[in-house]
Structure 1
Amino acid sequence: MAANVEFVRYIEELLAPLGSLTTGPFFGGRALKYHGRQFAWIIGSTLYLRVGDTTRADFEAEGAQPFKYTTKKGEVTVRKFYTAPEFLLDDPGQLLHWSRRAIDAAAD
């Protein structure tokens, strides 16, 4: 599924305070990068953030799910990217905070 163009613009506006944000195609969606590090991606109208060993539990505690897709051989789970918890889309300050943590996870 392609990224929803309007949703991508909305997320770009919310993340503008980060500066140095670039986007590009990725897995049929849009990758979001900070200084060349992919920390997020959008598919459809879903934002996925990069997680690491120190942040995964926080995402899971908020009900976030890892990215999954199905192949002929079965379901594949990508545990490096989780859905952004819903409350982040209503709280730009928290979205920036969690995005900075995703940037840190992308650096590991």
Structure 2
Amino acid sequence: MAVSAEEIDHALDLFAGLGPLTTRKMFGGLSIYCEGTIFAILMSDGRLLLKGQGAMQDRFDAMKFERWDYKRKDGSATYMPYWFLPDSAQDDADEATALAREALDHL
């Protein structure tokens, strides 16, 4: 299932405070870029994730954000460098933008 136009508009509205954003559709979802740097993914199920690298990985973990993982055929987990945006930021553009800005500072 692909993301809807409404889900895309909502994600872009949440992060509008970052400045001009670009997007690219991928695997039924959407990657979101600020000044050419990918910082977020909108999954095909409508969930938003932020990219974390360096110190931001520890910060997201300390804030108890859920990390994106998937199971391999052998049952082992593979962790991706993305964390799900918390529920509190799903409808709060100030919180979402602040988290995204902090994540971008570490990319």
Question: Offset of 1:29 from its aligned partner?
Answer: 1.2
CA–CA distance in structure 1, aligned partners of residues 70 and 62 of structure 2: 22
Contact 2:69 2:78 in 1 (8 A): yes
Unaligned runs of 5+ in 2: none
Which amino acid in structure 1 is aligned with residue 98 of structure 2? H
Unaligned runs of 5+ in 1: none
Instruction: Give RMSD over aligned pairs.
Output: 1.9
Question: Offset of 1:73 from its aligned partner?
Answer: 3.8
Q: State the TM-score, normalized to the length of structure 2.
A: 0.82
Question: Offset of 1:4 from its aligned partner?
Answer: 4.2
Match of residue 49 from structure 2: 48
Match of residue 25 from structure 1: 25
Listed as ranges, the matches of 1:28-107 within 5 Å are 28-43=28-43, 44-74=45-75, 75-78=77-80, 80-106=81-107
Which amino acid in structure 1 is aligned with residue 38 of structure 2? Q
> Which structure has greater strand proportion?
1
Contact 1:63 1:85 in 2 (8 A): no
Q: State the TM-score, normalized to the length of structure 1.
A: 0.81
Question: Offset of 1:27 from its aligned partner?
Answer: 3.9
Helix, strand or coil at the partner of 1:55: helix
Which amino acid in structure 1 is aligned with residue 90 of structure 2? L
**1:53-104 per-position Cα deviation (integer Å, ceiling 9, x unaligned):** 21223322332122112332433211x1111122112321111111111222
What's the % identity of the aligned pairs? Answer: 28
Say if 2:2 is the partner of 1:2. yes
